[in-house]
Structures are given as structure tokens and as C-alpha cells.
């Protein structure tokens, strides 16, 4: 890649890509510019403009590679980050373009070359590197959050208006009641009724803390279906947030630690409850492809990863004994349906629940606007998508919106609330767990049985 | 008018969110779906995204006043460079005019804005038992405006006809900015059929801002047959026999081995990987007829040497069989970085011979050519696979193209079945049209767009319009002034 560096005023101008994580030429050239992806792209649907389409973004990436567009041109930054990385384009592309890795590399280029004010770097480093770099720290923070919710401090704070001032109102509206106790690897285990199979649960950062009870529900359901569940010690956040933000080094560090943590458990399936984490874990092989020590191990690890709905739908589900008489609708997380192409499995599970009525919503696979931390940085676009999603969900008259990813759950919660709906948002496994009888039917070894 | 004041006035019409003019914002409007073929890119001076007919008219009036070229753009899936602003000027992108205004069930019509996506119109009306029949393979992305401008067809046009058979009336912004309606609910009507003139005019006569289209009742039953053959020859003979037996299937498509290799691994549509060619035949109608015809066609295929004949009636199964076909063009990206395809039509009886010739050309130029096409109406799509970066590839593609086009015209065929001429095939039109034919068309162009500002550099051979239009304009002027110079 030719790099022409030219000083223009005080600004350093770079032509082409340089450094690590360059959008791969072969991947870029797989695009034949047919435009079949356009209608699937949420940002194109909202704006009708070519630069906000997958084909447009790929053209911009190619233009930078060809030296026709400056890497630091505002449109490049704008479009690489306006993209939700929802991968809807990838799922429909007839030519098999791997869009995700391309946009992630493009973002990494921006991270490497874009001058950022010192304070921004510091905040990003602190939030993404320090906080998510070690699960213990996040657990401590979430513990604080729970204290804040439990003590009703939240109401008092809301009254002061300080949240609005700090622009944290939306963040707060999204946050569900935090689980009573975080799920800590090594402390809880679930035994199966029969069979010698075992499954390793990937805990995740947000899932293991805010949504710890969802993970417990997943473990109970898996155990009911004949596999013992435990959580290998030493596992960390999956690094998806980092990959999406172009912070590849941080992501690779986390990936290596996770591979280490899970290696002792041989070939046992690694079951994941968050679609976003699952997609990232399944791509460790690619993420570490240039690391001689970890390339193969990464690929082997990735091959073990299963979304929990994927895992459960692979076999015959033990029929859940209880009927759940309720009307629900299913919202497909992008990183489940598009990145992992898992779409029939969650529905199969829901259909296994007696009494449940599943009404499909319109555009169930169009991004809800959550997209990692997108809804915090690009509120307007995210709100438009969230409102669109909420309207479709409300149309179905469902009293529960079922999904399979924490980001979606939070975004849906806020969007439904904003649109006047009282529908609850739950994970597929929570509903299944209810149909199996919930926590009391399946005592766990360790933490859960201590309650 | 300088650039700054042009932008200012455009923003006055559309607001700042409706105009792009920074050079880096224009980059993504330099191409359309043909960019990987042999078509040049070009940058416009500005891109506009109107939301109403009045805005379109105001933009056009401004362009008219400034003497700037205007190019309409839908989804940009066109395969002949139609939406590329060859002489710069203003692009009018109609993607934000995407409302289905009205569905009239009694009259079986829909009034739509031009940016409505083809498939979404059918998806909206299907629950009520109707669909929009023209189904280009690009239907999940392309717009009704683009369909009208290219007179697009698709697999099912064998039975149902192409776009022109389904457009009843159009609201059009003319090149001087006037807004007119052509046609209407009633078929026919006295006077010139201006709707027919607009359909297939490649954005050169006016910008469609609303279309009144016909909806077709969904058939009671549908059956798709997949017949596999040892080679393309056998498949094309089978095609001739089916049509020769007086059967009109809803669709009859042929895919060769190379196409199957691109599509099957991606879509698992169920095409046998060892087949030399497959036919996809759809029949629809009332239940009994469909069953009887299905059996008849299957028998004909077996007689013609089919190694396997399968049928699908369930919606999901049929969709899967079709998905592979509809995604075939773009799936070629899996076999080579670039493709370039033609869209020639030959008399059905000449299909086997034409395919032979294509095969010879492929070997002669050492250029893989995949065939996937509307066999039922003899509309070929030879797809040349190449790599733009490899020295000599583009030249070989162009040479091979010339040979294919020449051959097809020689056997009595046409240059384009459905993709239009655009810039891509403009230099070949003299193969099929005489000087007088072209002059007649130029006359129509001239009466709509005397300044030649609407989508210039399309359809007519390079250099043709400038001289010709000037001559016609001089003639008009002379007549007006009462001077009969010639
Ligand atoms: C994978 C693939 C498969 C395809 N398969 C088929 C097929 O089976 N059959 C077929 O016929 N075509 C096919 N095409 C070609 C293309 O999709 C059609 O020509 C389609 O109708 C173009 O629609 P569009 O909205 O993308 O128009 P664009 O490409 O944006 O424009 C096409 C032309 O229409 C003009 N135009 C657009 N909107 C308007 C308007 N409102 N008023 C006036 N002029 C306008 C433009 O100026 C241009 O000349 C295929 C293309 C691809 C990429
Ligand atoms: S569908 Fe694939 S090949 Fe076609 S434009 Fe989109 S990314 Fe490119
Ligand atoms: S990842 Fe999603 S938002 Fe980004 S280009 Fe693809 S479809 Fe559009």
C-alpha cells in the first residue's frame, strides 16, 4: 500500500492505508457493486443516500485504498461510524462480501491515524481498556449501579435533573434492574439430570453482571437438557465492543485470555447468551490470524462456540412441562441473524413452549439501533430505528418482546417505553426457563443454592 | 451560474440535507451496477434528493436555466451505465420518493412514487391477492422508476410481459420543468401514446415522479420444475420443444455449469453440482391445469435427455429454487473479481447455435463465460468473468463482446432485452438501427428535450446527438422563421 505523506498546513495528510489492520484488498474486491444489499441496510433505509449504504461504504474504502479519498476526510469517519456494523448487508450479499471485517479494519485505521483530543483518548482508554479489560472492575461498577437502583437513589437523582445535564438520561432509561448478584466464574455450577455431557458457559461482561440472571436461566435450561454447565475461571469480556470501535490490540489481548481460559475444557461446546459476544467469539480465528501462537488455537476455539439457542435447537428439546399463555413477538439480534445466520432456531425453541403465541413483527431482522454503544453516540439515528422497531412490536399486540442479546434488550426497553408500550423485554432462555419451572426446579451447585 | 450559487439555489429548493456537492460526497454517485463491467464512471456536480414532484420540477427548471445536464437515478442497479452522469451536472436521486400512494383493489392498480422498491410493492399487495408482475432479478433493490426507464423484464415476463405492459400512466417532469400526466386508468385513449414513449426511454425524455401501475392477480397454484441436463445443448433443445409444444410457462430459465458452481455453494438451492445445465420452469394457473402441464413438461424434458426432473409446490421450496437464479448475476463475484454481461436477444430457434458460438468465443479468448438467462424468450446473459487488474483482460472482454453482439445481430437478434443501451452499448446501436431509424428516435428526443440536457451520452452512438440535435434544432428554427433552407 503506497503511503504518500504530505504536510498541508499543520495537518498531516495520509493517502491510502498504513499500519496494522488494513481493509483487505481481496475482501474489498469481492464487491461487484450490484446494489442488492441496499434495501437491507438500516442507514440506507433511513436516509436514501448512497454513502450511507454498504455499497457506498465499500466504495469509500476502496477510494481510500486507491488514494482517491483521504483517510481523514470527514465523510470517511462519518460513514465508517454511522454504519451500525449490523452485518445485514453481509447476510444478503450474493457475492459473499465479508463486510464486518472490512469496516472494523477501516475503523482501526481511523483509530490509528486520526488525531483525537487528549481527553477523548483518555476517556476511551479508561472506559474500554481499563474497565472492560478486566471483568472484576466492571463487576464492581455494576455493583454500584445496583446499589443506586436498590436504594431508590435513582429517583432522587432523577429529580435533580443532573442526568439530563450529563446527557445520561437515555443510558438510564435503557438500564434494566440489575441482577442481585453477579455471576462469578468458578463459583456456580449446574449438574445435569443424566448423561455425561458438559458445556462451558461464556459469561461476558454485561451478561455476567447486569443480566447475570439470564445467564443462570440459560444454564438451568441447558442442564435440563442433559449437559452439566460451568464457567471456566479467567474468562474475560469477549472484546466485541473493542473490535467494533477499531481497538484491535485491546480486543486481541482479551481474545488470547479467553482462549487460554477455555482451553483446559477440551472440545466441549462454549455456549453464549449474547449474540454480539457469540459473533465476536466465532471470529477469534480471523482476529488472531496473524498471531503465530494463537491463530490455530483461535480457530479451534471459534469452532466450539454456539449461541445458546443454536445449541439447544441442535438436539430434541426436552418438552417444557409448563404452559405459558402469552402473546410474544421475536426481535432478531443482528449479530444472531446476520453475523451468525441463526434465525429459525430461536423460533423453534419458542414454538416448543405450550400455550405461547408467537406473532411475527414486520422487519424483525432490521437493526433496532442498539449496535453496541451506537445508541449512546448516535442518538438520532438510533432513536429513529428504535421507534420504528417499537412501532412494529406494538402492532403485534405482544405483551413480551423476546430477543437474545443484551444490547438489543436495553435498546428495546428504552424504545418501547418512549413509545408508550408496557411490553416486557426478555431473552429466549428466560422464557424457556419459565416453562421449565424456573430456578426452584434446578438447584445449582455453589452460588445459586446458597440463596 | 457558478458552483456556489448553484448549490445555494439547490439548497433553497431542498434544504441543506437534500443536496450533496462536496467532492468527497459525490464519489459514491459516480457509478451504478455496471461499474464492474466496461462502463466508465463520472462525477456529477451535485446530487439532489427531492421528496416531492414540485421539488423535482424546481431542480429541473434550475438546471434548464443554467444549461446543466440532469440525470435521474433510482437504486443504481442498472447494468448499462444509465444512472451515471456522463457529462456531470445534477443527479436527481429519487430514493426519498418512496411512498405507495394508493392501492385501488377494484381497478387493480397502484399509484406509486418512483423510489418504491419493486419487490416491496408486490409484498405490500400480495396479502390482498395481487402482485406487480415485472420481476427483474434485481427486484429486491431496484425501483419502479428505474424499471419504467429501462422497460425492465424478469423471469416471469415470459408469460406476463415486461414493464411496459404494466404501466397505465405516468406523472412526468419534462426537461423544461413542466409537470404532465400521460395515460390514465383507461387503456388506450386517442392520440400519441406518451406513456409508451416514456417507458424504456432511459431517463432521456423526462423524470417519472409517479407511476400508475397494473396489479396482477396472484395465481391459484404455482409449480416449479427443476430439470437437469448433461450439457447446455440438451437444455436449450428442451426449451425449444416446450415452447414448440405451445406451452407458455410463467418462466423458463437456463443456468449452465459455471453458474451452478457460483450459486449452489452460496445458496444451497439444490441444483445438482454435476449437471451441465439446469432449466428452471415455473407454471401457474388453476390447480388442475398446473398439475397436467407440469407432467407434460416433465415428460418433454425427460425425452430431451433430462437426467433428473424435480418439482416444488410449497412456497419455501419454490423460493429457494428461485433464490439461486435471482442471485446468480451478483454471485459471479465469487468466481472472479469482475464480470461483464450482455443482454442480447436471439430468436428462440437460434438458441443452441448461439450458445455454441458463445462457447467458441469463450475458448478463443480464453475467457470464462457463464450463461444464465431467460431461455423462454431467447434473452441471453453471457457473463464474462475477468480481473480488471490483469493486463489485457479488459481488452479481451471488449473484443469478445463485439463478437458476441455481432453474431446475435447476424442471426436476427437484438442488442438488449431488458438492461437498456445506456453508455455501455451505444456504439453498437448502428448494428441494428439504420441511420433513418436513429433519426426517427432523435426526432422524439428532440421534441421532448431540444437542449439535449436529459441524461446525455446515452443510447445514441458517441458524437451522434451533438451534430444531429444541432441540425434538428436549426431545422426547427428555420421552419419557425419561415425559411426553408432544405
Ligand atoms: C444483479 C442484477 C440483476 C439484474 N437483473 C435484471 C433483470 O432480470 N431484468 C432487468 O430488466 N434488469 C435487471 N437488472 C438491471 C437493473 O436492475 C434494472 O435495469 C432496473 O430496472 C434498474 O432500476 P434502478 O432503480 O436501479 O435504476 P437506476 O440504475 O438507478 O437507473 C436506471 C436508468 O433509469 C433512469 N431512471 C431511474 N429512475 C428514473 C425516474 N424516476 N425517471 C426517469 N428515469 C429514471 C436512470 O436515469 C437510468 O438511465 C439487474 C441488475 C443487477 C445488478
Ligand atoms: S450485495 Fe455484495 S456485491 Fe452487491 S453491492 Fe452489496 S456488498 Fe457489493
Ligand atoms: S453493517 Fe448494517 S449499517 Fe453497516 S453497511 Fe451493512 S447493513 Fe448498513
Q: Where are the domains of chain A?
A: 4-113, 189-313, 318-445
Q: Which residues on neighbouring strands pair with residue A328, listed in sequence order?
A: A358, A400
Taking the CA of residue B389 and the nearest CA in chain A, the distance in Å comes to 11
What pLDDT is stored for residue A12 in this prediction?
Answer: 47
Closest ligand (CA of A95): 2
Judge contact between B79 and B34, C-beta under 8 A.
Answer: yes
Chain A residues whose CB is inside 8 A of the B75 CB are: 35, 38
Residues of B in CB contact (< 8 Å) with A are 20, 22, 24-25, 27-29, 31-33, 35-36, 49, 75-77, 93, 95-96, 98, 115, 117, 120, 138, 140-142, 266, 327-334, 337-339
A60 touches chain B (CB under 8 A): yes
Give distance in angstroms: CA of A37 to centre of ligand 2: 6
Judge contact between A103 and A31, C-beta under 8 A.
Answer: no
Whether residue A68 and residue B27 make contact (CB cut-off 8 A), yes or no, is yes
Whether residue A35 and residue B33 make contact (CB cut-off 8 A), yes or no, is yes
Whether residue A59 and residue B31 make contact (CB cut-off 8 A), yes or no, is yes
Chain-centroid distance of CA B406 in Å reads: 21
Closest Cβ opposite residue B36 in set A33, A48, A70: A33
Taking the CA of residue B334 and the nearest CA in chain A, the distance in Å comes to 5
- The number of the ligand 3 atom at minimal distance from the alpha carbon of A44 is 8
The CATH number of domain A318-445 is 3.40.50.11810: yes
- Using DSSP's 3-state secondary structure scheme, residue A426 falls into strand
What pairing do the DSSP bridges indicate for beta strands A4-8 and A11-15? antiparallel
- B123 contact partners, CB below 8 Å, separation of at least 6: none
Give distance in angstroms: CA of A189 to centre of ligand 1: 58
What pLDDT is stored for residue A62 in this prediction?
Answer: 96
**Any ligand 2 atom below 6 A from CB of A29:** no
Q: What residue has cell string 416446450?
A: B242
- A264 contact partners, CB below 8 Å, separation of at least 6: A232
Sign of CA dihedral B147, B150, B151, B153: negative
| Residue of chain B whose Cα is closest to the Cα of A61 | B28
Rounded Cα distance between A330 and A363, Å, is: 11
Rounded Cα distance between B354 and B410, Å, is: 10
A266 touches chain B (CB under 8 A): no
Rounded Cα distance between B452 and B444, Å, is: 11
Q: What residue has cell string 470517511?
A: A76
Give distance in angstroms: CA of A54 to centre of ligand 3: 6
Residue boundaries of the structural domains of chain B: 3-93, 100-217, 219-335, 433-483
A30 touches chain B (CB under 8 A): yes
Rounded Cα distance between A291 and A297, Å, is: 10
**Any ligand 3 atom below 6 A from CB of A43:** yes
Fold of B3-93: 3.30.43
Judge contact between A366 and A391, C-beta under 8 A.
Answer: no
Closest Cβ opposite residue B333 in set A30, A38, A74: A30
- Cell of residue B310, nine digits: 424435480
Rounded Cα distance between B210 and B267, Å, is: 36
Whether residue A33 and residue B31 make contact (CB cut-off 8 A), yes or no, is yes
- Using DSSP's 3-state secondary structure scheme, residue A175 falls into coil
Ligand 1 first shell, C-beta below 6 A: A 34-35; B 32-33, 71-79, 82-83, 94, 114, 136-138, 142-143, 145-147, 149-150, 152-154, 202-203, 207-208, 329-330, 418-419, 455
**Any ligand 2 atom below 6 A from CB of A37:** yes
**Any ligand 2 atom below 6 A from CB of A31:** yes
Chain B residues whose CB is inside 8 A of the A39 CB are: 117, 120, 140-141
What pLDDT is stored for residue A160 in this prediction?
Answer: 66
B482 Ramachandran zone, left/alpha/beta (phi>0; psi -120 to 50): left
Chain-centroid distance of CA B435 in Å reads: 25
- Residue with CA nearest ligand 2 atom 3: A31
Fold of A189-313: Glutathione S-transferase Yfyf (Class Pi); Chain A, domain 2 (1.20.1050)
Chain A residues whose CB is inside 8 A of the B20 CB are: 49
- Using DSSP's 3-state secondary structure scheme, residue B252 falls into strand
A97 touches chain B (CB under 8 A): yes
Rounded Cα distance between B219 and B59, Å, is: 43
- Cell of residue A250, nine digits: 485491546
- Residue with CA nearest ligand 1 atom 2: B138
Give distance in angstroms: CA of A336 to centre of ligand 3: 14
Judge contact between A23 and A17, C-beta under 8 A.
Answer: yes
Fold of A4-113: Fumarate Reductase Iron-sulfur Protein; Chain B, domain 2 (1.10.1060)
Q: List the B382-386 sheet strands across, edge first.
A: B308-312, B221-229, B277-285, B251-256, B369-373, B382-386, B338-341
Q: Which residues on neighbouring strands pair with residue B100, listed in sequence order?
A: B112
Whether residue A97 and residue B333 make contact (CB cut-off 8 A), yes or no, is yes
Closest Cβ opposite residue A39 in set B140, B327, B333: B140
- The number of the ligand 1 atom at minimal distance from the alpha carbon of B152 is 11
Structurally, what CATH architecture does the domain formed by B219-335 represent?
Answer: 2-Layer Sandwich (3.30)
Judge contact between B117 and B142, C-beta under 8 A.
Answer: yes
Rounded Cα distance between B340 and B382, Å, is: 8
Residue among B16, B19, B22, B24 with most chain A CBs within 10 A, to mutate: B24
What pLDDT is stored for residue A11 in this prediction?
Answer: 43
Residue to mutate (ligand 3; options A88, A91, A370, A378; most atoms within 8 A of CB): A88
Among A69, A93, A91, CA closest to A80: A69
The class of domain B100-217 in CATH terms is alpha beta
Whether residue B33 and residue A34 make contact (CB cut-off 8 A), yes or no, is yes
Which value does ipTM take for this structure? 0.91
Say which DSSP state B379 is in. Answer: B
Residue among A80, A88, A94 with most chain B CBs within 10 A, to mutate: A94
Neighbours of B105 (CB within 10 A): 12
What pLDDT is stored for residue A9 in this prediction?
Answer: 40
| Residue of chain A whose Cα is closest to the Cα of B22 | A75
- Residue with CA nearest ligand 2 atom 4: A34
- Using DSSP's 3-state secondary structure scheme, residue B90 falls into strand
Among B217, B209, B159, B169, CA closest to B57: B209
Judge contact between B386 and B398, C-beta under 8 A.
Answer: no
Taking the CA of residue A65 and the nearest CA in chain B, the distance in Å comes to 14
Q: What is the pLDDT along chain B (486 residues), one digit of tens a residue?
A: 788 899 999 999 999 999 999 999 999 999 999 887 767 899 999 999 999 999 999 999 999 999 999 999 999 999 999 999 999 999 999 999 999 999 999 999 999 999 999 999 999 999 999 999 999 999 999 999 999 999 999 999 999 999 999 999 999 999 999 999 998 876 667 888 999 999 999 999 999 999 999 999 999 999 999 999 999 999 999 998 999 899 999 999 999 999 999 999 888 999 999 999 999 999 999 999 999 999 999 999 999 999 999 999 899 999 999 999 999 988 998 999 999 989 999 998 899 899 999 999 999 999 999 999 999 889 999 999 999 888 899 899 989 999 999 999 999 998 888 888 888 888 888 888 888 999 999 999 999 999 999 999 999 988 776 655 556 555 555 555 554 433
Whether residue A30 and residue B332 make contact (CB cut-off 8 A), yes or no, is no
Burial code (b: 16+ CB inside 10 Å, e: under 16) for A98-120 equals bbbbbbbbbbbbbbbeeeeeeee
Helix spans in B39-153 (H) = 53-66, 118-125, 144-150
Segments of chain A scoring below 70 in pLDDT: 1-15, 152, 154-171, 195, 372-373, 376, 440-451
Rounded Cα distance between A219 and A448, Å, is: 11
Amino acid at each position: 500500500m503506497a503511503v504518500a505523506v504530505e504536510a498541508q498546513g499543520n495537518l498531516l495528510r495520509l493517502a491510502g492505508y498504513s499500519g496494522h489492520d488494513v481493509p483487505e484488498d481481496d475482501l474489498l474486491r469481492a464487491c461487484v457493486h450490484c446494489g442488492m444489499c441496499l434495501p437491507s441496510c438500516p442507514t440506507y433505509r433511513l436516509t436514501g443516500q448512497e454513502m450511507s449504504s454498504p455499497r457506498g461504504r465499500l466504495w469509500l474504502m476502496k477510494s481510500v485504498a486507491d488514494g482517491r479519498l483521504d483517510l481523514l476526510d470527514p465523510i470517511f469517519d462519518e460513514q465508517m461510524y454511522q454504519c451500525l456494523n449490523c452485518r445485514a448487508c453481509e447476510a444478503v450479499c450474493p457475492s459473499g462480501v465479508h463486510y464486518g471485517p472490512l469496516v472494523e479494519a477501516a475503523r482501526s485505521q481511523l483509530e490509528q491515524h486520526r488525531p483525537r483530543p487528549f481527553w477523548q483518548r483518555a476517556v476511551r482508554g479508561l472506559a474500554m481498556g481499563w474497565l472492560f479489560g478486566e471483568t472484576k472492575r466492571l463487576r464492581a461498577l455494576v455493583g454500584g449501579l445496583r446499589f443506586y437502583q436498590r436504594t431508590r437513589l435513582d429517583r432522587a437523582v432523577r429529580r435533580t435533573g443532573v442526568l439530563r445535564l450529563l446527557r445520561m438520561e437515555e443510558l438510564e432509561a435503557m438500564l434494566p434492574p440489575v441482577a442481585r448478584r453477579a455471576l462469578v466464574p468458578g463459583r456456580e455450577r449446574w449438574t445435569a439430570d443424566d448423561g455425561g455431557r458438559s458445556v462451558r458457559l461464556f459469561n461476558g461482561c454485561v451478561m455476567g453482571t447486569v443480566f447475570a440472571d439470564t445467564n443462570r436461566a440459560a444454564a438451568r435450561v441447558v442442564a435440563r437438557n442433559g449437559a452439566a454447565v460451568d464457567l471456566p475461571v479467567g474468562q474475560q469480556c469477549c472484546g466485541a465492543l473493542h473490535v467494533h470501535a477499531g481497538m484491535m490490540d485491546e480486543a486481541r489481548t482479551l481474545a488470547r485470555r479467553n482462549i487460554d481460559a477455555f482451553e483446559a475444557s477440551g472440545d466441549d461446546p462454549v455456549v453464549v447468551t449474547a449474540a454480539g459476544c457469540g459473533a465476536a467469539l466465532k471470529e477469534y480465528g480471523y482476529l488472531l490470524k496473524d498471531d503465530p501462537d494463537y491463530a490455530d488455537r483461535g480457530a479451534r476455539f471459534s469452532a466450539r462456540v454456539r449461541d445458546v439457542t443454536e445449541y439447544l435447537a441442535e438436539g430434541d428439546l426436552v418438552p417444557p412441562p409448563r404452559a405459558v399463555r402469552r402473546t410474544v413477538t421475536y426481535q432478531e439480534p443482528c449479530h444472531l441473524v446476520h453475523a451468525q445466520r441463526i434465525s429459525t432456531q430461536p423460533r423453534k425453541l419458542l414454538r416448543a413452549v405450550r400455550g405461547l403465541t408467537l406473532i411475527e413483527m414486520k422487519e424483525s431482522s432490521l437493526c433496532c439501533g442498539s449496535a453496541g454503544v451506537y445508541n449512546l453516540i448516535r442518538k438520532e439515528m438510533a432513536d429513529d430505528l428504535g421507534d420504528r422497531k417499537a412501532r412494529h412490536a406494538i402492532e403485534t399486540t405482544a405483551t413480551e418482546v423476546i430477543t437474545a442479546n443484551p444490547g438489543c434488550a436495553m435498546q428495546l426497553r428504552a424504545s418501547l417505553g418512549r413509545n408508550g408500550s408496557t411490553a416486557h423485554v426478555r431473552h429466549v432462555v428466560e422464557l424457556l426457563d419459565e416453562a421449565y419451572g424456573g430456578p426452584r426446579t434446578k438447584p445449582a451447585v455453589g452460588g445459586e443454592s446458597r440463596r | 451560474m457558478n458552483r456556489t450559487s448553484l448549490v445555494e439555489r439547490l439548497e433553497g429548493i431542498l434544504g441543506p440535507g437534500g443536496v450533496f456537492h462536496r467532492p468527497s460526497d459525490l464519489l459514491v454517485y459516480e457509478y451504478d451496477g455496471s461499474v464492474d463491467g466496461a462502463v466508465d464512471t463520472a462525477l456529477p456536480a451535485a446530487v439532489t434528493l427531492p421528496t416531492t414532484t414540485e421539488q423535482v420540477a424546481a431542480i429541473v427548471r434550475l438546471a434548464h436555466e443554467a444549461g446543466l445536464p440532469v440525470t435521474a437515478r433510482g437504486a443504481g442497479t442498472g447494468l448499462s451505465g444509465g444512472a451515471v452522469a456522463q457529462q456531470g451536472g445534477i443527479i436527481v436521486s429519487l430514493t426519498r420518493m418512496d411512498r405507495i400512494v394508493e392501492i385501488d383493489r377494484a381497478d387493480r392498480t397502484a399509484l406509486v412514487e418512483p423510489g418504491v422498491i419493486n419487490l416491496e410493492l408486490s409484498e405490500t399487495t400480495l396479502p390482498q391477492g395481487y402482485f406487480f408482475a415485472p420481476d427483474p432479478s434485481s427486484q429486491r433493490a431496484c425501483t419502479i422508476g428505474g424499471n419504467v426507464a429501462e422497460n425492465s423484464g424478469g423471469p416471469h415476463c415470459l408469460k406476463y410481459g415486461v414493464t411496459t405492459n404494466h404501466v397505465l400512466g405516468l406523472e412526468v417532469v419534462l426537461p423544461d420543468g413542466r409537470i404532465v400526466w400521460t395515460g390514465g386508468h383507461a387503456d388506450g385513449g386517442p392520440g400519441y401514446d406518451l406513456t409508451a414513449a416514456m417507458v424504456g426511454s432511459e431517463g432521456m425524455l423526462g423524470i417519472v415522479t409517479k407511476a400508475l401501475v397494473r396489479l396482477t392477480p396472484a395465481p391459484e397454484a404455482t409449480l416449479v420444475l427443476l430439470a437437469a441436463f448433461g450439457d447446455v445443448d440438451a437444455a436449450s433443445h428442451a426449451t425449444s420443444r416446450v415452447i414448440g409444444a405451445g406451452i407458455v410457462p410463467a418462466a423458463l430459465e437456463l443456468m449452465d455449469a459455471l453458474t451452478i458452481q457460483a450459486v449452489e455453494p452460496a445458496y444451497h438451492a439444490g441444483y445438482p453440482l454435476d449437471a451441465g445445465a439446469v432449466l428452471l420452469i415455473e407454471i401457474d394457473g388453476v390447480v388442475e391445469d398446473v398439475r397436467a402441464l407440469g407432467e407434460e413438461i416433465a415428460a418433454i424434458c425427460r425425452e430431451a435427455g433430462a437426467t433428473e426432473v424435480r418439482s416444488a409446490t410449497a412456497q419455501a421450496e419454490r423460493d429457494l429454487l428461485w433464490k439461486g437464479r435471482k442471485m446468480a448475476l451478483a454471485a459471479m463475484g465469487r468466481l472472479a473479481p469482475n464480470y461483464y454481461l450482455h443482454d442480447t436477444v436471439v430468436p428462440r430457434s437460434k438458441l443452441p447455435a448461439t450458445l455454441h458460438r458463445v462457447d467458441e468465443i469463450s475458448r478463443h479468448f480464453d475467457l470464462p463465460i457463464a450463461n444464465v438467462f431467460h431461455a423462454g424468450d431467447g434473452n441471453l446473459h453471457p457473463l464474462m468473468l475477468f480481473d480488471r487488474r490483469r493486463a489485457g483482460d479488459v481488452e479481451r472482454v471488449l473484443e469478445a463482446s463485439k463478437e458476441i453482439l455481432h453474431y446475435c445481430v447476424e442471426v436476427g437478434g437484438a442488442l438488449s432485452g431488458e438492461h437498456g443501451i445506456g453508455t455501455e452499448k451505444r456504439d453498437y446501436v448502428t448494428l441494428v438501427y439504420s441511420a433513418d431509424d436513429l433519426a426517427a428516435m432523435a426526432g422524439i428526443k428532440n421534441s421532448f428535450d431540444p437542449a439535449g440536457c436529459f441524461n446525455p451520452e446515452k443510447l445514441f452512438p458517441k458524437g451522434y446527438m451533438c451534430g444531429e440535435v444541432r441540425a434538428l434544432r436549426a431545422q426547427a428554427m428555420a421552419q419557425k422563421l419561415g425559411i426553408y433552407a432544405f
